[in-house]
Amino acid sequence: MNLDDFSDLIERPDGGVRRDAEERRERLIVPPGALGRLDELGEWLSAAQGSVKVHAIEQPRVVLFAGDHGVASLGVSGRPAGTAYELVRSVLDGASPVAVLARAASVPVRVVDAGLDCDPELLPAEVVRHRVRRGSGRIDLENALSTEETEAAIRLGMAIADEEADSGTDLVVLGDLSVGGTTPACALIAALCGTDASVVTGRGGAGIDDLAWMRKCAAIRDALRRARPVLGDQVELLAAVGGADLAAMTGFLLQSAVRRMPVILDGVVGAACALVAQRAAFRAPDWWLAGQVSGEPAQSKALDRMALNPLLDHGVTVGEGTGALLALPLVQAAAALAAELPERPEPAQLPEQPLAPEPTIPDSPPDEVN
């Protein structure tokens, strides 16, 4: 598998439509600039949909990829290793923040087990049937996946993207349910941005103390030594320091761009997968929005590299797609305004008046001769 092949498959959103949408925006009754970023979002949606007049976002979907990471056994996470299935169970039971928000907004949630480290019987069959492997390897010492497992995870993500596009999903809120997932995410971002472990290491969605932060920083440093020799091959990079859920999310992002399906990214894990995908296909980020600032320094570096400006900064660090879902109403509002605001009426034309005859100037009397 060569992810560089996606570069030929992914096209940018329609630039001509966007220019027409910008011209139409100039004619709306609300002055240009008065709606702030909503104007920009509306024009982006026009280009993504290929329609000057934006269609409403009618079938959004939250898609969450789940997995456990062996590096969590080092105590780099605020949760015990191998307990990501509890996060999945909470979402399925409607008791997690993303589940509550999705229910309030009537947005369906789909959970995909790419690499959970639990007995399949603990979760519904439709969740676990896609699993690539049970857990991912300890990236400070060994590869997270084999090459074959990495390719299988990428194809899993591509298949999920195709299923969503074929079912009519018109926008995806993408998130992860993982324990230890921010550590490989930071390793990927540090490798791709050419920076040190200490620059990208944050405290994760669950929060960690100083000692755990130092362990996490050391694990990322060791993972970087293994990542740098394979930087030229995205598949081998994901195999070395990624994980089944991260590889699946990368495949999902690339295939979503192929299918012209917009995606809202959530936190540092999604940003890392997006950065890998951008390395393979430079046009792909044009199909993504950054939902929120997660507070992770690695996320900020990745978004800067992709020139993605987050929509929200509410201090939400819980992960699981929560921050990205909070941004969805903003995107829906931009779509509604772009679609429904009327244009300014043309100024009334006054009827043409006949021209008044030019006044006649009498001839001057001849000069008197003395």
Which residues make beta-bridge pairs with 69? 136
Q: Please answer whether residues 15 and 47 qualify as being in contact, where contact means their C-beta atoms are separated by less than 8 angstroms.
A: yes
Q: Tell me if residue 320 is catalytic.
A: yes
Q: Is 353 exposed, middle or buried (0-12, 13-18, 19+ CB in 10 A)?
A: exposed
Q: How far apart are CA 277 and CA 256, in angstroms?
A: 11
Q: Cβ distance 61 to 172 under 8 Å?
A: yes
**What is the Cα–Cα distance from 170 to 263, expressed in whole angstroms?**
9
Q: How many CA atoms lie within 13 A of 57 on its CB side?
A: 29
Cα–Cα distance measured from residue 42 to residue 31, given in angstroms and rounded to the nearest whole number? 15
Backbone angles phi, psi at 12, to 5 degrees: -70, 155
Would you list the DSSP string of 78-143?
SS-TT-HHHHHHHHHTT-SHHHHHHHHHT--EEEEEEE--S-GGGS-HHHHTT--SSSB--TTTS-
The token duo for 80 is 């015990």
Can you tell me the distance from the alpha carbon of 214 to that of 328, in angstroms, rounded to the nearest whole number?
Answer: 35
* Helix-, strand-, coil-residue percentages of the chain, each rounded to 5: 50, 10, 40
Q: Which of 80, 55, 65, 155 has the alpha carbon at shortest distance from 115?
A: 65
First to last CA, the chain: 114
Q: Which tokens is 82 given?
A: 């191998």
Buried b or exposed e, range 15-40, using 16+ CB within 10 angstroms:
eebbebbbebbeebeeeeeebeebbe
Q: Which of 22, 142, 320, 346 is catalytic?
A: 320
Q: Which residues are part of the catalytic machinery?
A: 320
